[in-house]
Chain A
Amino acid sequence: MDAIILQILNGLDKGSAYALIALGLTLIFGTLGVVNFAHGALFMIGAFCAVTLSKLLNASYTTIDESRTDFLGNPLKVEQPYVIDWFGPEVGAAIIDWSVPLAILFAIPVMILIGVIMERGLIKHFYNRPHADQILVTFGLAIVLQEIIKFYFGANPIPTPAPDAFTGSFDFGQVIGFDANQIIYPYWRLVYFAFAAVIIGAVFAFLQFTTFGMVVRAGMADRETVQLLGINIDRRFTIMFGLAAAVAGLAGVMYVPINPPNYHMGMDFLVLSFVVVVVGGMGSLPGAVAAGFLLGILESFASMGAVIDLLPGINQIIIYLVAIIILLTRPRGLMGRKGVMEE
């Protein structure tokens, strides 16, 4: 029992990342009808927003502290971050410590801007071209983006820690009545899951309860009619593209403490996120979220020792296997609408 709960928890954080990326992917597909292979790159850029902010906040100058000496007896050189000078030692240290959550504020405008530029500058010209062309051009864009990141940040993963308050692990088992130390779970992963839930909730609420969202949903259902009603649906779809980019970017920002980001993390996630979208149903938002969590949890179940003993190698292929079965037996995915991209 405890093992099962632990696997469900383990699946949640990966599932959250899949769900967030897949949500953005399917949002773009549902609104603009574009298959965006550069979405993983947006996730990766989000992660590097966090890295950049953390580096900026840690920008420091060197002072010589005469009162202390190093082991050779020379005066000790102390790195003094500017932030501490400006905000005082306590607030400054807290700001540096909380750089990853702060990066959310930094990443939202950056990602929306990148998304809008991408849509207006490139994707716009590909609405009427075949899906294969869209896949190819965004694939090329993904290569360009990741090479730019590689040029500035290098090829190695850059560790960026979570705030100290979240570094420990949480004894989840005790809360629900197990012995201590049976089900322990890092705090940050819980935070990630909660964060993902909030973002997903916010996107759905935005689409469901605002006039803007209503128009967008109407446009997804029948673009032409909405245009005939005199609504500039293109501009709204552009904003939705920016929003989808921001969702992917935020997923990346918060993922940084779980896995140090490197330039190809986006591609690694993209392939799986596409599988998630297809399993959930092209263009279906609830489908993408459900399939994201489902596949995340399935993946962690498949890596349990008992399962691997039974079916060796299953942990490596489970997601693809599920995708193949779903695609062949239920072409529109778990929650896809009938007739949308069925062929």
Chain B
Amino acid sequence: MLGLNSKDFRLLLLVAALALLAPFILNPFPADSAMAQFNAGYPDLMQRFVIFGVFAIGFNILFGLTGYLSFGHAAFLGVGSYSAVWMFKLLSMNVIPAILLAVITAGLFALLIGYISLRRSGIYFAILTLAFAQMSYALAYSVLTPVTGGETGLQLALDDPRVLGAAQSAQGNIPVPGLFGLEMRDAAQLNLGDWVFTFSAGYYFSAVVMLIAFYLSIRIFRSPFGMMLRAVKSNQQRLNYTGLNARPYTLAAFVISGMYAGLAGGLMAAMDPLAGAERMFWTASGEVVLMAILGGVGTLIGPVLGAGLIKYMENIISKINADILHSWFAFLPDGLEDFIVSIMYPFIGKGWHLTLGIIFMAVVIFLPGGLVEGGQRIARLFRRRKSGEAAKDDDAKQSTVAE
């Protein structure tokens, strides 16, 4: 189906089902219960899941396939956001042209930076991309203020010279980004007993875009082009000796991955039409590296899982404070309660970065394949128990599946 083999198609269907049913899956607890704070099914966070999923999928095309570690990928995301907001300001509030422009400008920008940076590899490539991203960040903050809005960021105003569409809505407000009349912030609520599910237009739009991006990435992974990129990763020298020039392939991968980042930036602006330079700061680039590694670099689904995990921690775990912890362990004797809370406290709430850092280190040390590899190992463990000897063949198969 769709040019995929049955296994990939099943993966795509699974991701599609998860994405479309996300408002249910992420809202497992009734709205008034004590566990409701673990509900991640509100539009803002779900949008972030899929948008950062797109970003991480794109990063994975570069790092996962070619092994080139870019520490400046957020620059493309920032450029995408800026161009999308400019499109809203100048052309129309429809999200399609904005996202198209975001992808195109990010692609051109990636072409420029990639052309220069890809002359070097390894750590030098990482430093070069980092240097370019930091330069873009510094310039966006200072000299380019007329284009980027500087410290306040780029925002819509009431007197934007919009060519198609009005500068103000009927109520005199700034219009909202939409898709042919469907506003991105429209949402429908469904009450089922104690549960409240929110279906947001913006989320579903982003989810569909993510699915398309995911589908394209599967096609890239399975194509001869993807094979070529993997050859670059495994041994570039040998590739050169066979008379193949690797640079056009790596540059193409870099540009594609930059366009994915631009797409993510454009989506971000479409959900909330503003853009700031901090999206280009190197910590943002570091974050996407964390996502890809945590989930499993070089696997199809890994980066999306990683993005989801980090965004979940950032938004949910970080909200747990000491009082909530005390209320959870209230059933214990006082001394024990205080003890447990004081042990757990540094790892949650504002300290969630600590947990993230520890998980990340553990993954790099023990599970180079990320969460996906962890899942495979567990699955293999169960299978071995079931079928004993036959598992050996299966092992060999399993290790190629996730590629």
Q: Which residues of A contact B (CB under 8 A)?
A: 35, 122, 125, 130-133, 135-137, 139-141, 143-144, 147-148, 150-151, 267, 271, 274-275, 278, 282, 312-313, 316-317, 320-321, 323-324, 327-328, 331, 341, 343
Contacts and interface: CB of A to CB of B under 8 A. Distances in A.
B241 to A, nearest CB: 15
8 contacts: A122-B365, A133-B364, A136-B293, A136-B364, A137-B364, A143-B357, A151-B354, A271-B282
Contacts of A143: 353-354, 356-357, 360
Given A275-B127, A278-B124, A140 B361 contact: yes
Contacts of B286: 139
B120 A331 contact: yes
B69 A323 contact: no
Given A132-B69, A313-B142, A331-B124, A147 B351 contact: yes
Interface of B: 67, 69, 116, 119-124, 126-128, 130-132, 134-135, 138-139, 141-144, 282-283, 286, 289, 293, 346, 351, 353-354, 356-358, 360-361, 364-365, 368
A267 B285 CA distance: 14
Contact of B124 (A133, A140, A144, A327): A327
B121 A278 contact: no
Contacts of B283: 267
A343 B122 contact: yes
Interface centre among B283, B353, B361 (most CB of A within 10 A): B361
A132 to B, nearest CB: 5
Contact of A341 (B123, B138, B358): B123
Contacts of A327: 120, 124, 127-128
Contacts of A151: 346, 351, 354
A71 B130 CA distance: 57
A135 B123 contact: yes
A180 B135 CA distance: 39
A280 to B, nearest CB: 12
Nearest to A264: B283
Interface centre among A141, A150, A313 (most CB of B within 10 A): A313
Given A135-B69, A136-B289, A323-B131, A144 B361 contact: yes
B141 A316 contact: yes
A122 B357 CA distance: 14
- Which secondary structure dominates chain B's binding surface? helix
B370 to A, nearest CB: 11
- Which secondary structure dominates chain A's binding surface? helix
A147 B128 CA distance: 27
A117 B279 CA distance: 36
Given A151-B346, A316-B138, A324 B357 contact: no
Given A137-B364, A316-B142, 15 more contacts: A125-B365, A131-B122, A132-B67, A135-B123, A140-B360, A143-B356, A144-B354, A144-B361, A148-B354, A278-B127, A312-B143, A323-B128, A324-B128, A327-B127, A328-B116
Contacts of A125: 365
Given A133-B368, A317-B138, A35 B123 contact: yes
A143 B122 CA distance: 22
Contacts of B143: 312-313, 316
A147 B354 contact: yes
Nearest to A282: B123
Interface centre among A147, A275, A321 (most CB of B within 10 A): A147
Contacts of A140: 357-358, 360-361, 364
A251 B34 CA distance: 49
A131 B123 contact: yes
Contacts of B130: 271, 274
Contacts of A131: 122-123
B134 A271 contact: yes
B127 A323 contact: yes
B296 to A, nearest CB: 13
A125 B368 CA distance: 13
A139 B287 CA distance: 11
Contacts of B353: 143, 147
A136 B135 CA distance: 23
Given A313-B142, A317-B139, A147 B116 contact: no
Nearest to A151: B346
Interface centre among A130, A133, A140, A278 (most CB of B within 10 A): A140
